[in-house]
Amino acid sequence: MSTTPTHASTHTPAAADEFAGKSALVTGAASGIGLEIARRLADAGASVIVADHNEEGAKEAVEAINAAGGRAAAVRVDVTDPESVRRAVEFTAATYGGLQLAVNNAGIAGASAPTGEYGVQDWQRVIDTNLNGVFYSLRHELPLILASGGGAVVNMSSILGSNGFAGSAAYSAAKHAVVGLTKTAAVEYASRGVRVNAVAPGFIDTPLLQDADSQRDYLISLHPQGRLGTAEEVAELTLFLLSDRASFVNGSYHLVDGGYAAR
């Protein structure tokens, strides 16, 4: 018998004009959590740049968003390459004239091995994507957000940004560091009209978990609610943090984890 209860969405979408007149850049937006965030931002009136290393996937996402009445454009980005990130941010400025909202979501799961056996190249690949990629993004986004009159940023951390997990030394280290980077940027830019927060999903039922199918029941068991989370649930929190409804929320690390951290 399955221990996973069915889940019916009870989310109230953001108002159709909540982000009207604002532009948003979402990395890792061709699938999973990033795609859902991009969709919801467009539904709420934002002009969205769908940025991903999978250019075809980004274009398909944009076609779907535009077909649904939103406004979006695609750009290829390799977040491990600071020049690629710079070009993506410049593309945002050229396309929409500025930037008010950014979601630094691109990430990889990486290899699984005990810390003493973790491959150096595997370590570097995860750190380059999950940590350096967030820094490169902030490095180029923040000046443009300032020049655009201020705004908000959400960095995608993880429940492993505050917990360890066997076999995930690089991933956990990177996600912990994203929290520190988020808090530092928040302190630096708070008086200049930019809020920076981090979201910490538990294990979410997205393509990133496809390689972990053999562990699915185990991962479900780690969440007191008895199921994996959904991209919609992460997007709901992310859009709140980007919105003026969260105007006094800054430098915070927000769990969306079905009780994982409360065990």
Residue numbers annotated as active site: 171
Query: CA gyration radius for the chain?
Result: 17
Q: Sign of torsion, CA 75 255 19 98?
A: negative
b/e sequence 219-236, b meaning 16+ C-beta within 10 Å: bbebbeeebbbbbbbbbb
Q: In degrees, to the nearest 5, what angle opens at C-alpha 197 toward C-alphas 195 and 200?
A: 170
- Residue 172, amino acid: S
**Residue in 148, 177, 155, 166 with CA at minimum distance from that of residue 219:** 166
Q: Where do the DSSP E strands lie in 9-100?
A: 23-27, 47-52, 71-76
Q: Encode 20-53: b = buried (16+ Cβ within 10 Å), e = exposed.
A: eebbbbbbbbbbbbbbbbbbbbbbbbbbbbbbbb
* CB distance 173 to 228 below 8 Å: no
Say if CB 156 and CB 103 are below 8 A apart.
yes
Measured between its terminal Cα atoms, the distance across the chain in Å is 23
The identity of residue 55, as a single letter, is: E
In 79-207, where does DSSP find H-type helix?
82-96, 120-127, 133-147, 169-189
